[in-house]
Structure 1
Amino acid sequence: MLRVENLNKTFGDKKALNNISAAFPEKQTTVIVGPSGSGKSTLIRSLNFLERPESGHYYFDDQDIDLSKRVDNKTILGVRRRTEMVFQGYNLFPHLSVLQNVMEGPIQVLKKNKREAAEEAHELLAKVGLAEKADVYPTQLSGGQAQRVAIARSLAMHPEYIFLDEPTSALDPELELEVLKVLLQIANEEQSMIIVTHNMAFAQQVANKMIFVEDGQILFDGPVKEFFNTDNQRIVDFISAMTFKNI
Protein backbone atom coordinates (compact mmCIF):
# COMPACT_ATOMS: atom_id res chain seq x y z
CA MET A 1 0.00 0.00 0.00
CA LEU A 2 1.21 3.45 -0.93
CA ARG A 3 0.03 6.43 1.10
CA VAL A 4 1.09 9.94 2.05
CA GLU A 5 0.37 11.94 5.17
CA ASN A 6 0.40 15.70 5.74
CA LEU A 7 2.27 16.64 2.56
CA ASN A 8 3.19 20.30 2.19
CA LYS A 9 4.77 21.85 -0.88
CA THR A 10 5.20 25.51 -1.78
CA PHE A 11 6.32 27.30 -4.92
CA GLY A 12 7.24 30.84 -3.90
CA ASP A 13 4.22 32.13 -2.00
CA LYS A 14 1.83 29.54 -3.50
CA LYS A 15 0.85 26.52 -1.40
CA ALA A 16 0.74 23.76 -4.01
CA LEU A 17 0.05 21.01 -1.45
CA ASN A 18 -1.58 21.99 1.82
CA ASN A 19 -1.36 19.23 4.44
CA ILE A 20 -2.52 16.54 2.01
CA SER A 21 -3.08 12.97 3.15
CA ALA A 22 -4.24 10.14 0.87
CA ALA A 23 -3.98 6.40 0.37
CA PHE A 24 -3.62 4.64 -2.98
CA PRO A 25 -4.83 1.03 -2.72
CA GLU A 26 -3.00 -1.80 -4.41
CA LYS A 27 -4.52 -3.47 -7.50
CA GLN A 28 -6.82 -0.50 -7.97
CA THR A 29 -6.86 2.65 -10.08
CA THR A 30 -6.98 5.96 -8.27
CA VAL A 31 -7.87 8.94 -10.43
CA ILE A 32 -6.91 12.46 -9.38
CA VAL A 33 -8.91 15.35 -10.83
CA GLY A 34 -9.25 19.05 -10.21
CA PRO A 35 -9.05 22.43 -11.93
CA SER A 36 -5.83 23.73 -13.51
CA GLY A 37 -3.28 24.74 -10.91
CA SER A 38 -5.05 22.79 -8.17
CA GLY A 39 -2.00 20.75 -7.15
CA LYS A 40 -2.93 17.41 -8.72
CA SER A 41 0.21 17.17 -10.88
CA THR A 42 2.37 18.29 -7.95
CA LEU A 43 0.84 15.48 -5.91
CA ILE A 44 1.50 12.73 -8.43
CA ARG A 45 5.01 14.05 -9.16
CA SER A 46 5.73 13.99 -5.43
CA LEU A 47 4.93 10.27 -5.40
CA ASN A 48 7.93 9.71 -7.69
CA PHE A 49 10.13 12.36 -6.02
CA LEU A 50 10.10 14.56 -9.10
CA GLU A 51 8.84 17.19 -6.66
CA ARG A 52 10.07 17.28 -3.06
CA PRO A 53 7.49 18.29 -0.44
CA GLU A 54 8.97 20.26 2.45
CA SER A 55 7.21 18.11 5.03
CA GLY A 56 5.02 15.08 5.48
CA HIS A 57 5.45 11.32 5.43
CA TYR A 58 5.59 8.92 2.49
CA TYR A 59 4.65 5.35 3.32
CA PHE A 60 5.31 2.43 0.98
CA ASP A 61 4.34 -0.83 2.69
CA ASP A 62 6.45 -0.81 5.89
CA GLN A 63 8.76 1.97 4.67
CA ASP A 64 8.32 5.39 6.33
CA ILE A 65 10.06 8.32 4.60
CA ASP A 66 10.11 11.56 6.60
CA LEU A 67 10.03 14.29 3.97
CA SER A 68 11.01 17.01 6.42
CA LYS A 69 14.48 15.43 6.44
CA ARG A 70 16.93 14.95 3.59
CA VAL A 71 15.93 11.94 1.49
CA ASP A 72 19.02 10.18 0.14
CA ASN A 73 19.38 8.98 -3.44
CA LYS A 74 19.30 5.33 -2.40
CA THR A 75 15.82 5.78 -0.91
CA ILE A 76 14.57 7.67 -3.96
CA LEU A 77 15.95 5.05 -6.37
CA GLY A 78 14.35 2.34 -4.24
CA VAL A 79 10.93 3.95 -4.72
CA ARG A 80 11.52 4.53 -8.42
CA ARG A 81 12.44 0.88 -8.97
CA ARG A 82 9.04 -0.09 -7.63
CA THR A 83 7.13 2.51 -9.63
CA GLU A 84 6.95 3.89 -13.16
CA MET A 85 5.97 7.35 -14.42
CA VAL A 86 4.25 8.01 -17.75
CA PHE A 87 4.33 11.64 -18.87
CA GLN A 88 2.41 13.72 -21.40
CA GLY A 89 5.46 13.88 -23.68
CA TYR A 90 6.24 10.13 -24.02
CA ASN A 91 10.02 10.59 -23.42
CA LEU A 92 10.99 7.80 -25.81
CA PHE A 93 14.61 7.47 -26.91
CA PRO A 94 14.59 8.78 -30.52
CA HIS A 95 17.71 6.83 -31.56
CA LEU A 96 16.22 3.48 -30.50
CA SER A 97 13.52 1.48 -32.26
CA VAL A 98 10.19 0.91 -30.56
CA LEU A 99 11.30 -2.59 -29.54
CA GLN A 100 14.59 -1.30 -28.17
CA ASN A 101 12.78 1.40 -26.20
CA VAL A 102 10.75 -1.25 -24.42
CA MET A 103 13.78 -3.51 -23.90
CA GLU A 104 16.17 -0.87 -22.56
CA GLY A 105 14.94 -0.68 -18.96
CA PRO A 106 14.73 -4.43 -18.35
CA ILE A 107 18.25 -4.91 -19.75
CA GLN A 108 19.92 -1.97 -18.01
CA VAL A 109 18.02 -1.91 -14.71
CA LEU A 110 16.54 -5.38 -14.22
CA LYS A 111 19.60 -7.05 -15.80
CA LYS A 112 17.55 -9.29 -18.08
CA ASN A 113 19.30 -10.92 -21.02
CA LYS A 114 18.49 -9.54 -24.46
CA ARG A 115 16.55 -12.57 -25.63
CA GLU A 116 14.23 -12.56 -22.61
CA ALA A 117 13.79 -8.78 -22.79
CA ALA A 118 12.99 -8.95 -26.51
CA GLU A 119 10.40 -11.71 -26.04
CA GLU A 120 8.59 -9.76 -23.35
CA ALA A 121 8.83 -6.51 -25.32
CA HIS A 122 7.13 -8.16 -28.31
CA GLU A 123 4.38 -9.45 -26.00
CA LEU A 124 3.83 -6.01 -24.48
CA LEU A 125 3.74 -4.29 -27.86
CA ALA A 126 1.09 -6.77 -28.94
CA LYS A 127 -0.80 -6.00 -25.73
CA VAL A 128 -0.94 -2.29 -26.56
CA GLY A 129 -1.82 -2.98 -30.21
CA LEU A 130 1.55 -2.12 -31.73
CA ALA A 131 3.11 -5.47 -32.62
CA GLU A 132 3.68 -4.29 -36.20
CA LYS A 133 5.61 -1.20 -35.04
CA ALA A 134 8.45 -3.02 -33.27
CA ASP A 135 11.13 -2.01 -35.76
CA VAL A 136 10.11 1.58 -36.44
CA TYR A 137 11.47 4.65 -34.64
CA PRO A 138 9.56 7.09 -32.42
CA THR A 139 9.53 9.84 -35.07
CA GLN A 140 7.46 7.53 -37.28
CA LEU A 141 4.70 7.14 -34.68
CA SER A 142 1.56 9.15 -34.03
CA GLY A 143 1.20 10.70 -30.61
CA GLY A 144 -1.21 7.99 -29.52
CA GLN A 145 1.13 5.25 -30.70
CA ALA A 146 4.09 6.86 -28.92
CA GLN A 147 2.13 7.03 -25.67
CA ARG A 148 1.16 3.38 -25.98
CA VAL A 149 4.85 2.51 -26.41
CA ALA A 150 5.59 4.54 -23.25
CA ILE A 151 2.97 2.49 -21.40
CA ALA A 152 4.45 -0.78 -22.71
CA ARG A 153 7.89 0.42 -21.60
CA SER A 154 6.53 1.04 -18.10
CA LEU A 155 4.88 -2.39 -17.93
CA ALA A 156 8.17 -4.01 -18.94
CA MET A 157 9.64 -2.88 -15.63
CA HIS A 158 6.97 -4.80 -13.66
CA PRO A 159 6.22 -1.85 -11.38
CA GLU A 160 4.06 -2.13 -8.32
CA TYR A 161 2.47 1.20 -9.25
CA ILE A 162 2.28 3.19 -12.50
CA PHE A 163 1.82 6.96 -12.21
CA LEU A 164 0.31 8.74 -15.23
CA ASP A 165 0.24 12.53 -15.35
CA GLU A 166 -2.31 13.71 -17.95
CA PRO A 167 -1.18 10.95 -20.35
CA THR A 168 -3.56 11.99 -23.16
CA SER A 169 -3.79 15.77 -22.80
CA ALA A 170 -1.68 16.40 -25.92
CA LEU A 171 -3.70 14.06 -28.14
CA ASP A 172 -6.72 14.62 -30.34
CA PRO A 173 -9.86 12.63 -29.39
CA GLU A 174 -9.28 9.64 -31.69
CA LEU A 175 -5.69 9.16 -30.58
CA GLU A 176 -6.72 9.71 -26.98
CA LEU A 177 -9.24 6.90 -27.28
CA GLU A 178 -6.50 4.48 -28.40
CA VAL A 179 -4.54 5.16 -25.23
CA LEU A 180 -7.54 5.14 -22.90
CA LYS A 181 -8.62 1.70 -24.17
CA VAL A 182 -5.17 0.33 -23.30
CA LEU A 183 -5.25 1.90 -19.83
CA LEU A 184 -8.72 0.48 -19.19
CA GLN A 185 -7.48 -2.99 -20.14
CA ILE A 186 -4.51 -2.64 -17.78
CA ALA A 187 -6.77 -1.44 -14.97
CA ASN A 188 -9.01 -4.48 -15.48
CA GLU A 189 -5.93 -6.65 -14.98
CA GLU A 190 -5.53 -5.04 -11.53
CA GLN A 191 -2.30 -3.18 -12.18
CA SER A 192 -2.05 -0.52 -9.46
CA MET A 193 -2.30 2.88 -11.16
CA ILE A 194 -2.61 6.51 -10.16
CA ILE A 195 -3.84 8.74 -12.98
CA VAL A 196 -4.21 12.49 -13.29
CA THR A 197 -6.70 13.16 -16.08
CA HIS A 198 -9.08 15.76 -17.45
CA ASN A 199 -11.32 13.16 -19.10
CA MET A 200 -14.34 12.60 -16.84
CA ALA A 201 -15.90 9.86 -18.99
CA PHE A 202 -12.67 7.87 -18.81
CA ALA A 203 -12.31 8.53 -15.08
CA GLN A 204 -15.81 7.21 -14.48
CA GLN A 205 -14.99 3.96 -16.29
CA VAL A 206 -11.47 3.30 -15.05
CA ALA A 207 -11.42 4.54 -11.45
CA ASN A 208 -11.98 2.54 -8.31
CA LYS A 209 -11.31 5.66 -6.27
CA MET A 210 -11.50 9.40 -7.00
CA ILE A 211 -9.53 12.23 -5.43
CA PHE A 212 -10.60 15.81 -6.11
CA VAL A 213 -7.96 18.46 -5.44
CA GLU A 214 -8.43 22.22 -5.32
CA ASP A 215 -6.13 24.94 -4.00
CA GLY A 216 -3.69 22.31 -2.76
CA GLN A 217 -6.29 20.51 -0.65
CA ILE A 218 -8.29 17.31 -1.07
CA LEU A 219 -12.01 18.07 -1.15
CA PHE A 220 -13.10 14.51 -2.01
CA ASP A 221 -11.48 11.13 -1.46
CA GLY A 222 -13.71 8.13 -2.01
CA PRO A 223 -15.41 5.66 -4.36
CA VAL A 224 -16.05 6.64 -7.96
CA LYS A 225 -19.82 6.23 -7.71
CA GLU A 226 -20.01 8.59 -4.74
CA PHE A 227 -17.97 11.19 -6.60
CA PHE A 228 -20.18 11.24 -9.68
CA ASN A 229 -23.36 11.21 -7.58
CA THR A 230 -22.26 13.74 -4.98
CA ASP A 231 -24.40 16.67 -3.87
CA ASN A 232 -21.26 18.73 -3.14
CA GLN A 233 -21.99 21.77 -5.29
CA ARG A 234 -18.34 22.53 -6.04
CA ILE A 235 -17.80 19.04 -7.44
CA VAL A 236 -21.13 19.11 -9.29
CA ASP A 237 -20.07 22.39 -10.94
CA PHE A 238 -16.66 20.95 -11.82
CA ILE A 239 -18.10 17.82 -13.43
CA SER A 240 -20.62 19.92 -15.36
CA ALA A 241 -17.87 22.19 -16.66
CA MET A 242 -15.62 19.29 -17.67
CA THR A 243 -18.42 17.43 -19.46
CA PHE A 244 -20.08 20.54 -20.97
CA LYS A 245 -23.27 19.36 -19.28
CA ASN A 246 -24.73 22.85 -18.87
CA ILE A 247 -23.56 24.38 -22.14
Structure 2
Amino acid sequence: MIEVKHLNKTFDGHNALTDISVQFPKDQTTVIVGPSGSGKSTLLRSLNFLERPESGIYQFDSDEIDLSQPISNKTILSIRRRTEMVFQGYNLFPHLSVLQNVMEGPIQVQKVKKAAAQQAAIDLLGKVGLAEKASVYPSQLSGGQAQRVAIARSLAMHPEYIFLDEPTSALDPELELEVLKVLLQIASEKQSMIIVTHNMAFAQQVANKIVFIEDGHVLYDGGSDAFFETDNQRIKDFISAMTFSNI
Protein backbone atom coordinates (compact mmCIF):
# COMPACT_ATOMS: atom_id res chain seq x y z
CA MET A 1 0.00 0.00 0.00
CA ILE A 2 1.02 3.59 -0.64
CA GLU A 3 0.45 6.06 2.16
CA VAL A 4 1.39 9.69 2.71
CA LYS A 5 1.33 11.32 6.15
CA HIS A 6 1.31 15.06 6.89
CA LEU A 7 2.53 15.89 3.38
CA ASN A 8 3.16 19.57 2.60
CA LYS A 9 4.05 21.20 -0.70
CA THR A 10 4.42 24.89 -1.53
CA PHE A 11 4.89 26.83 -4.77
CA ASP A 12 6.33 30.35 -4.43
CA GLY A 13 5.05 30.62 -0.88
CA HIS A 14 1.58 29.29 -1.76
CA ASN A 15 0.43 26.14 0.06
CA ALA A 16 -0.40 23.71 -2.73
CA LEU A 17 -0.84 20.79 -0.31
CA THR A 18 -1.33 21.19 3.42
CA ASP A 19 -0.97 18.34 5.94
CA ILE A 20 -2.20 15.68 3.53
CA SER A 21 -2.58 12.18 5.01
CA VAL A 22 -4.07 9.59 2.64
CA GLN A 23 -3.84 5.85 2.04
CA PHE A 24 -4.00 4.37 -1.46
CA PRO A 25 -4.92 0.67 -1.07
CA LYS A 26 -3.52 -2.00 -3.35
CA ASP A 27 -5.78 -3.82 -5.81
CA GLN A 28 -8.17 -0.87 -5.78
CA THR A 29 -8.78 2.28 -7.78
CA THR A 30 -8.54 5.55 -5.88
CA VAL A 31 -9.88 8.60 -7.70
CA ILE A 32 -8.76 12.10 -6.75
CA VAL A 33 -11.27 14.83 -7.52
CA GLY A 34 -11.68 18.50 -6.75
CA PRO A 35 -11.89 21.95 -8.33
CA SER A 36 -9.31 23.20 -10.79
CA GLY A 37 -6.14 24.23 -8.99
CA SER A 38 -7.07 22.36 -5.82
CA GLY A 39 -3.86 20.30 -5.67
CA LYS A 40 -5.07 17.05 -7.26
CA SER A 41 -2.29 16.72 -9.83
CA THR A 42 0.31 17.98 -7.37
CA LEU A 43 -0.59 15.16 -5.00
CA LEU A 44 -0.47 12.57 -7.77
CA ARG A 45 2.84 13.85 -9.11
CA SER A 46 4.28 13.83 -5.59
CA LEU A 47 3.69 10.07 -5.46
CA ASN A 48 6.10 9.64 -8.38
CA PHE A 49 8.49 12.41 -7.24
CA LEU A 50 7.70 14.56 -10.24
CA GLU A 51 6.96 17.08 -7.50
CA ARG A 52 9.03 17.19 -4.32
CA PRO A 53 7.06 17.94 -1.14
CA GLU A 54 8.97 19.82 1.55
CA SER A 55 7.83 17.61 4.42
CA GLY A 56 5.83 14.55 5.34
CA ILE A 57 6.25 10.79 5.24
CA TYR A 58 5.90 8.69 2.09
CA GLN A 59 5.37 4.98 2.74
CA PHE A 60 5.29 2.29 0.07
CA ASP A 61 4.70 -1.06 1.78
CA SER A 62 7.63 -1.37 4.21
CA ASP A 63 9.70 1.41 2.62
CA GLU A 64 9.39 4.73 4.47
CA ILE A 65 10.76 8.02 3.13
CA ASP A 66 11.09 11.19 5.19
CA LEU A 67 10.31 13.91 2.67
CA SER A 68 11.97 16.59 4.79
CA GLN A 69 15.35 14.93 4.22
CA PRO A 70 17.44 14.72 1.03
CA ILE A 71 16.17 11.91 -1.18
CA SER A 72 18.65 9.94 -3.26
CA ASN A 73 18.18 9.22 -6.95
CA LYS A 74 18.32 5.53 -6.05
CA THR A 75 15.30 5.92 -3.79
CA ILE A 76 13.36 7.84 -6.43
CA LEU A 77 14.24 5.28 -9.08
CA SER A 78 13.10 2.44 -6.83
CA ILE A 79 9.67 4.07 -6.49
CA ARG A 80 9.41 4.79 -10.23
CA ARG A 81 10.25 1.17 -11.06
CA ARG A 82 7.24 0.08 -9.06
CA THR A 83 4.88 2.62 -10.60
CA GLU A 84 3.89 3.99 -13.99
CA MET A 85 2.53 7.43 -14.89
CA VAL A 86 0.06 8.10 -17.71
CA PHE A 87 -0.16 11.79 -18.66
CA GLN A 88 -2.66 13.86 -20.62
CA GLY A 89 -0.25 14.14 -23.54
CA TYR A 90 0.46 10.43 -24.24
CA ASN A 91 4.29 10.94 -24.51
CA LEU A 92 4.73 8.20 -27.11
CA PHE A 93 8.00 7.93 -29.01
CA PRO A 94 7.13 9.35 -32.46
CA HIS A 95 9.91 7.45 -34.27
CA LEU A 96 8.73 4.05 -32.99
CA SER A 97 5.72 2.05 -34.13
CA VAL A 98 2.89 1.37 -31.71
CA LEU A 99 4.24 -2.14 -31.08
CA GLN A 100 7.76 -0.83 -30.51
CA ASN A 101 6.45 1.80 -28.09
CA VAL A 102 4.92 -0.91 -25.91
CA MET A 103 8.00 -3.16 -26.17
CA GLU A 104 10.60 -0.48 -25.44
CA GLY A 105 10.33 -0.30 -21.67
CA PRO A 106 10.47 -4.03 -20.94
CA ILE A 107 13.44 -4.47 -23.28
CA GLN A 108 15.47 -1.44 -22.21
CA VAL A 109 14.62 -1.24 -18.50
CA GLN A 110 13.68 -4.76 -17.48
CA LYS A 111 15.95 -6.53 -19.97
CA VAL A 112 13.14 -8.73 -21.27
CA LYS A 113 14.09 -10.68 -24.38
CA LYS A 114 12.75 -9.19 -27.59
CA ALA A 115 10.54 -12.15 -28.56
CA ALA A 116 8.88 -12.24 -25.14
CA ALA A 117 8.43 -8.46 -25.08
CA GLN A 118 6.92 -8.51 -28.56
CA GLN A 119 4.37 -11.21 -27.68
CA ALA A 120 3.43 -9.42 -24.46
CA ALA A 121 3.02 -6.15 -26.39
CA ILE A 122 0.79 -7.82 -28.98
CA ASP A 123 -1.37 -9.24 -26.19
CA LEU A 124 -1.64 -5.85 -24.48
CA LEU A 125 -2.57 -4.08 -27.70
CA GLY A 126 -5.35 -6.62 -28.10
CA LYS A 127 -6.44 -5.91 -24.54
CA VAL A 128 -6.84 -2.17 -25.30
CA GLY A 129 -8.51 -2.85 -28.65
CA LEU A 130 -5.61 -1.80 -30.88
CA ALA A 131 -4.15 -5.04 -32.22
CA GLU A 132 -4.63 -3.82 -35.79
CA LYS A 133 -2.58 -0.67 -35.08
CA ALA A 134 0.63 -2.47 -34.06
CA SER A 135 2.62 -1.39 -37.13
CA VAL A 136 1.47 2.23 -37.40
CA TYR A 137 3.17 5.27 -35.87
CA PRO A 138 1.79 7.63 -33.20
CA SER A 139 1.15 10.39 -35.73
CA GLN A 140 -1.38 8.11 -37.43
CA LEU A 141 -3.45 7.59 -34.27
CA SER A 142 -6.40 9.48 -32.87
CA GLY A 143 -6.01 10.96 -29.42
CA GLY A 144 -8.04 8.16 -27.87
CA GLN A 145 -5.96 5.52 -29.62
CA ALA A 146 -2.71 7.18 -28.55
CA GLN A 147 -3.86 7.25 -24.93
CA ARG A 148 -4.80 3.57 -25.07
CA VAL A 149 -1.29 2.81 -26.37
CA ALA A 150 0.13 4.82 -23.46
CA ILE A 151 -1.93 2.69 -21.07
CA ALA A 152 -0.74 -0.53 -22.75
CA ARG A 153 2.84 0.72 -22.47
CA SER A 154 2.36 1.26 -18.74
CA LEU A 155 0.83 -2.20 -18.27
CA ALA A 156 3.79 -3.74 -20.10
CA MET A 157 6.02 -2.75 -17.18
CA HIS A 158 3.86 -4.72 -14.70
CA PRO A 159 3.71 -1.82 -12.24
CA GLU A 160 2.33 -2.20 -8.75
CA TYR A 161 0.46 1.08 -9.25
CA ILE A 162 -0.51 3.10 -12.31
CA PHE A 163 -0.94 6.87 -11.80
CA LEU A 164 -3.17 8.63 -14.35
CA ASP A 165 -3.31 12.43 -14.47
CA GLU A 166 -6.50 13.59 -16.24
CA PRO A 167 -5.97 10.88 -18.89
CA THR A 168 -8.94 11.95 -21.03
CA SER A 169 -9.08 15.71 -20.54
CA ALA A 170 -7.68 16.42 -24.02
CA LEU A 171 -10.17 14.14 -25.79
CA ASP A 172 -13.62 14.72 -27.23
CA PRO A 173 -16.43 12.68 -25.61
CA GLU A 174 -16.42 9.81 -28.11
CA LEU A 175 -12.66 9.29 -27.87
CA GLU A 176 -12.81 9.75 -24.10
CA LEU A 177 -15.28 6.88 -23.86
CA GLU A 178 -12.84 4.55 -25.65
CA VAL A 179 -10.22 5.20 -22.97
CA LEU A 180 -12.61 5.04 -20.03
CA LYS A 181 -13.88 1.62 -21.11
CA VAL A 182 -10.29 0.33 -21.09
CA LEU A 183 -9.65 1.78 -17.63
CA LEU A 184 -12.86 0.22 -16.28
CA GLN A 185 -11.71 -3.16 -17.58
CA ILE A 186 -8.28 -2.74 -16.00
CA ALA A 187 -9.85 -1.71 -12.69
CA SER A 188 -12.05 -4.82 -12.75
CA GLU A 189 -8.86 -6.90 -12.92
CA LYS A 190 -7.67 -5.36 -9.61
CA GLN A 191 -4.79 -3.36 -11.06
CA SER A 192 -3.92 -0.75 -8.44
CA MET A 193 -4.62 2.69 -9.92
CA ILE A 194 -4.72 6.28 -8.70
CA ILE A 195 -6.60 8.54 -11.12
CA VAL A 196 -7.09 12.29 -11.23
CA THR A 197 -10.20 13.00 -13.30
CA HIS A 198 -12.86 15.63 -13.94
CA ASN A 199 -15.36 13.01 -15.15
CA MET A 200 -17.73 12.35 -12.25
CA ALA A 201 -19.73 9.64 -14.03
CA PHE A 202 -16.52 7.73 -14.66
CA ALA A 203 -15.30 8.32 -11.10
CA GLN A 204 -18.55 6.90 -9.74
CA GLN A 205 -18.18 3.75 -11.84
CA VAL A 206 -14.47 3.07 -11.41
CA ALA A 207 -13.57 4.24 -7.90
CA ASN A 208 -13.34 2.06 -4.84
CA LYS A 209 -12.25 5.15 -2.96
CA ILE A 210 -12.61 8.91 -3.52
CA VAL A 211 -10.27 11.62 -2.26
CA PHE A 212 -11.75 15.12 -2.60
CA ILE A 213 -9.25 17.98 -2.39
CA GLU A 214 -9.92 21.69 -2.22
CA ASP A 215 -7.35 24.44 -1.66
CA GLY A 216 -4.70 21.84 -0.86
CA HIS A 217 -6.74 20.17 1.91
CA VAL A 218 -8.46 16.79 1.95
CA LEU A 219 -12.17 17.38 2.53
CA TYR A 220 -13.25 13.79 1.92
CA ASP A 221 -11.41 10.47 2.04
CA GLY A 222 -13.58 7.40 1.83
CA GLY A 223 -15.79 5.10 -0.20
CA SER A 224 -17.24 6.06 -3.56
CA ASP A 225 -20.87 5.35 -2.65
CA ALA A 226 -20.72 7.51 0.47
CA PHE A 227 -19.13 10.35 -1.50
CA PHE A 228 -21.89 10.48 -4.08
CA GLU A 229 -24.60 10.13 -1.42
CA THR A 230 -23.10 12.65 1.01
CA ASP A 231 -25.03 15.32 2.87
CA ASN A 232 -21.95 17.58 2.85
CA GLN A 233 -23.16 20.69 1.06
CA ARG A 234 -19.77 21.60 -0.42
CA ILE A 235 -19.38 18.17 -1.97
CA LYS A 236 -22.98 18.19 -3.19
CA ASP A 237 -22.39 21.57 -4.84
CA PHE A 238 -19.22 20.28 -6.49
CA ILE A 239 -20.92 17.16 -7.85
CA SER A 240 -23.82 19.26 -9.15
CA ALA A 241 -21.47 21.69 -10.87
CA MET A 242 -19.55 18.85 -12.52
CA THR A 243 -22.59 16.85 -13.65
CA PHE A 244 -25.16 19.59 -14.38
CA SER A 245 -27.49 17.74 -12.00
CA ASN A 246 -28.84 21.06 -10.73
CA ILE A 247 -30.16 22.14 -14.17
What TM-score results when the alignment is normalised by the length of structure 1? 1.00
Question: What secondary structure sits across from 1:190 in the alignment?
Answer: coil
- Name the structure 2 match of 1:204: 204
Identity %: 78
Question: What secondary structure sits across from 1:89 in the alignment?
Answer: coil
- Name the structure 2 match of 1:125: 125
Are 1:35 and 2:24 counterparts? Answer: no
- AA of the residue aligned to 1:30: T
Structure 1, unaligned runs of 5 or more: none
Q: CA RMSD in A?
A: 0.4
Deviation at 1:13, TM superposition (A): 2.3
- Name the structure 2 match of 1:103: 103
- AA of the residue aligned to 1:206: V
Tell me, in whole angstroms, the C-alpha distance in 2 between the residues paired with 1:8 and 1:221. 17
- Name the structure 2 match of 1:63: 63
- AA of the residue aligned to 1:37: G
- AA of the residue aligned to 2:43: L
- AA of the residue aligned to 1:171: L
- Name the structure 2 match of 1:165: 165
Q: Deviations over 1:2-35 (max 9, x none)?
A: 1100110000121000010000000000000000
- Name the structure 1 match of 2:241: 241
> Which range moved further: 5-14 or 119-128?
5-14
Count of residues paired in the alignment: 247
- Name the structure 1 match of 2:150: 150
- Name the structure 2 match of 1:48: 48
Tell me, in whole angstroms, the C-alpha distance in 1 between the residues paired with 2:57 and 2:111. 31
Deviation at 1:225, TM superposition (A): 0.4
Q: Deviations over 1:208-244 (max 9, x none)?
A: 0000000000000000000000000000000000001
Tell me, in whole angstroms, the C-alpha distance in 1 between the residues paired with 2:36 and 2:203. 17
What TM-score results when the alignment is normalised by the length of structure 2? 1.00
Structure 2, unaligned runs of 5 or more: none
Tell me, in whole angstroms, the C-alpha distance in 2 between the residues paired with 1:108 and 1:73. 19
- AA of the residue aligned to 2:234: R
- Name the structure 1 match of 2:193: 193
Tell me, in whole angstroms, the C-alpha distance in 2 between the residues paired with 1:13 and 1:241. 30
Tell me, in whole angstroms, the C-alpha distance in 2 between the residues paired with 1:116 and 1:13. 49
Question: What secondary structure sits across from 2:167 in the alignment?
Answer: coil
Are 1:184 and 2:184 counterparts? Answer: yes
- Name the structure 1 match of 2:220: 220
Tell me, in whole angstroms, the C-alpha distance in 1 between the residues paired with 2:69 and 2:100. 38
Deviation at 1:57, TM superposition (A): 0.5
Are 1:11 and 2:7 counterparts? Answer: no
Tell me, in whole angstroms, the C-alpha distance in 2 between the residues paired with 1:6 and 1:13. 18
- Name the structure 2 match of 1:23: 23
- Name the structure 2 match of 1:175: 175
Tell me, in whole angstroms, the C-alpha distance in 1 between the residues paired with 2:180 and 2:21. 28
Question: What secondary structure sits across from 1:68 in the alignment?
Answer: coil
Are 1:139 and 2:132 counterparts? Answer: no
- AA of the residue aligned to 2:176: E
